[in-house]
Chains A and B, each alone.
Chain A
């Protein structure tokens, strides 16, 4: 990274800056004439003195001469405006491009930071620097050279003009400049210092906020909100003080500038007026000078502002850049170099005199020498702070040793590009990170190192793509196309398409994530338009399941959707819609307010029924729940009415008794009307939806479907026995009905039958594929810790690395899953070198060899079976502690 702002600017925008300068230079003659012309207009055309007889061979009178000159003036104004516009746009574009470059460079730097550096910088600070702090730099870069040139040139042009008119007036105009030139930098210096402090403190604030977000659970769990708020208040206070001081000083500078600018006309009126009276200066010249002076103050102000911005930008640049240059940063080419096609790291691992120092320079790995044979599986065990994790991180080159070296298959890994270590070595740490994307992409990330199959040339908007690419190139950004296929199929060892899906499926089994993915798949859905063959197979499964349930005598456990029948296991709303709501219009919480639904109820005479049923529901709820405290769990679990609304309904029920339903106000009746929609007769057993009501709801169902206005067509996906419902989950599509309430074990038994049918119809693969499309949320928050870890394992195994290094990689799994996953990985890793730092020494039993690391040294090594019995041996000790 360039050490100073101007070096950065000059290196990446030389050409543009020179173009800007040339254009600026070209604009000055026009500017000069636009200043000079008014004098001619006033003195000659209006004053009528020295009027030329003819112009370009044509005779002219005074008025047409005036018009001609005015026209010329107008043209100059337009040309000057045009120049300004062009220069501004050019400058803006240049600034944006440079900002883009700077941000990208900083981000690229972050990716090359040595890992220990992340202990010292906080996420909040770094983000604040890349996003916020460098923002003003963009605007400044465009102005950095052109603005002083332009405004300085303008200033000079105007001054030259003034001196030509009268050197005394010219001198008067700049008489106070030296004073300003002396005082402003002095004052500005203080502001700059404050600016630095402000940047530092805003960073500390972002750090504090970032910290609170990362630790939000602990803030809540320890009632730490007040402490956290006091911390932020403290920092805000410091920032406030600094900013206030900056404002005070800034405005003082402004005041001084303005005052001086106002002072100069004093000289014009007095000296200029005197000269005109004496006849040494024409009146026109004085007016022109005054006009020019008005123009003079603008560039002068701009120059002063520029000076302030320059100071500000320099501070920001220096402060950001110094943060982004930690020692040990990975050289750029090590991250970008590509490998030869057949590059492998299959072979023995050996370390010689390896050492690693902590921040204080104390050794935490000391003279460690270890050899792992080509196909050996080695367990590294030891106490928590003994250095076993550091050792395996060194082997994966996530840490760089302070002494000694590591070779894998005869190659020293310190000098290998990341393309080698990050592809041929597989490393999984104790808490794998899952990115905000689909499960599938998170696993494929393990083999997405560079675009492999480029986007076809005729794909999408070619012009748009080329434009984006050109802009990226001009800003020095990455030129890799995000839309290309990045998956390294060769590394995975399969072809694109079904084979890859098959492989992913296998990997899910290996890491024991297949059942979870299957469950996610059942909850997911597909678009029948794009995947008609899958939809068709699901419909087939729907029929098979129904037959299968009948065969097992379990037909009563699922109540299928039937257009002609009321479904007692579905809500009243579902019965009315006879479909799945799409969007919010007919969602359960809004359906009662929907105008169209109300029309349908009115048309079928259900409105009164619903109000009556609603009243009954309300009175039952009031009776059941009125004695419970408002925060009782029964409310959320069972009640139709929230605890906040219960008192209101209590009043409404009383009112209904007094006045009768018919006598109640419309809004009170509406409150009752909203209640029956959630009723499920078979579950709630309130006996409120009688046969008559059911028949009428069925009728309303018909009316609802036939009269549905066009703009609501997309708001509901109707149930249909022979159509895939895109708004419902895969599981609901196969079930096509409701699991019956009140049948013992219905859910589990139907689930079994469902699984059986999916297996029989060979749909498990499809379901898993759909489960892989599951969006995992920010940081994988929609997955459990164990699931996230399994994704991390699958990601690494996917690309079949030559060497496998695990760092307590299964510690987050529950013990049943842990043994299974470890056994599977052993199978998967057959024939490759594997080093595994274990959270528990007893897990080392299945390894070829166990290495005990304590205090940064190997204290014992050998077969598990032998070491376990060594009297007061290190392993025996560890096992004893477990």
Chain B
């Protein structure tokens, strides 16, 4: 997959959809693309987070550690982003992520991300907007859950 294809894919991810394509290209160029073997661990629950991963192909399992061992709570697919919270604020990873179905990701490190954001504030604005939308959605879900009780 070339840089151009990576940019195409990024453009279809909501978090990045409003960002100027030339900046997405810079993001792709400065990020590492990584292929995983199945069941290889991207990161473990409780690790400190230094990068976000964008799934370019294949999938990944999100595992939560429980007393009876890890259980899979969700499955990520192409175009999903994982670990983005960790590069925005210093919280430990809230889940373990494991590669499935010949996973390929674009690894965006915290450093790269912040350098991009400080240089091009419009990226920050777009991401803020997307996060706010997510928050709103969570609120709606919460309210719905509350009223249905």
Contact = CB atoms under 8 A, between A and B. Distances in A.
Given A638-B29, A687-B4, A632 B35 contact: no
Nearest to A688: B2
Q: What DSSP secondary structure best describes chain A's contact surface?
A: loop
Contacts of B26: 624-625, 634
A22 interface: no
Contacts of B104: 742
Contacts of B22: 623-624, 627
Contacts of B2: 685-687
A553 B22 CA distance: 38
Interface string B1-36: 111101000000000000000100110011011111
B149 interface: no
B30 A638 contact: yes
Interface string B112-146: 00010001100000000000000000000000000
Contacts of B120: 627
Contacts of A687: 2-4
Interface in A627-647: 627-629, 632-634, 637-638
Contacts of A553: 37
Nearest to B2: A687
Interface residues of A, number: 22
A637 B30 contact: yes
B4 A742 contact: no
Contacts of B30: 634, 637-638
A569 to B, nearest CB: 13
Given A623-B25, A685-B1, A632 B34 contact: no
Interface in B29-81: 29-30, 32-37, 40, 42
B119 A628 contact: yes
A744 B119 contact: no
A743 B3 contact: no
Given A624-B25, A685-B2, A742 B119 contact: no
Contacts of B115: 632-634
A808 to B, nearest CB: 33
Given A627-B120, A632-B119, A686-B2, A742 B25 contact: no
A553 B40 CA distance: 13
Interface in A736-779: 741-745
Contacts of B32: 741-742
Nearest to A556: B35
Interface residues of B, number: 24
B34 A742 contact: yes
B34 A686 contact: no
B3 A744 contact: no
B33 A742 contact: yes
Query: Max chain B CB contacts within 10 Å: which of A628, A637, A685?
Result: A685
B35 A742 contact: yes
B119 A685 contact: no
A135 B119 CA distance: 60
B29 A624 contact: yes
B3 A745 contact: no
A633 B22 CA distance: 18
Contact of B34 (A620, A624, A633, A744): A744
Interface in A712-743: 741-743
B36 to A, nearest CB: 5
Query: Max chain A CB contacts within 10 Å: which of B4, B22, B26, B120?
Result: B26
A743 B119 contact: no
Contact of B3 (A633, A685, A741): A685
A596 to B, nearest CB: 32
Nearest to A638: B30
Interface in A657-676: none
Contacts of A742: 32-35, 104
B33 A685 contact: yes
A687 B33 CA distance: 14
Interface in A605-638: 620, 623-625, 627-629, 632-634, 637-638
A733 to B, nearest CB: 26
Nearest to A623: B22
A625 B3 CA distance: 15
Contacts of A744: 34-37, 40, 42, 99, 105
A807 B101 CA distance: 59
Nearest to B30: A638
Contacts of A684: 3, 29
Contacts of B105: 744
A685 B34 contact: no
A267 B122 CA distance: 99
B48 to A, nearest CB: 17
A93 to B, nearest CB: 66
Nearest to B6: A685
B19 to A, nearest CB: 13
Contacts of A629: 119
A743 B29 contact: no
A743 B33 CA distance: 8
Nearest to B105: A744
A632 B119 CA distance: 9
B47 to A, nearest CB: 14
Contact of B35 (A625, A638, A685, A743): A743
Nearest to A625: B26
Query: Max chain B CB contacts within 10 Å: which of A628, A629, A685, A744?
Result: A744
Given A628-B119, A685-B3, 5 more contacts: A620-B3, A632-B119, A686-B2, A742-B35, A743-B34
Interface of B: 1-4, 6, 22, 25-26, 29-30, 32-37, 40, 42, 99, 104-105, 115, 119-120
16 contacts: A620-B3, A624-B29, A627-B22, A627-B120, A628-B119, A632-B119, A637-B30, A684-B29, A685-B2, A686-B2, A687-B4, A742-B33, A743-B35, A744-B34, A744-B40, A744-B99
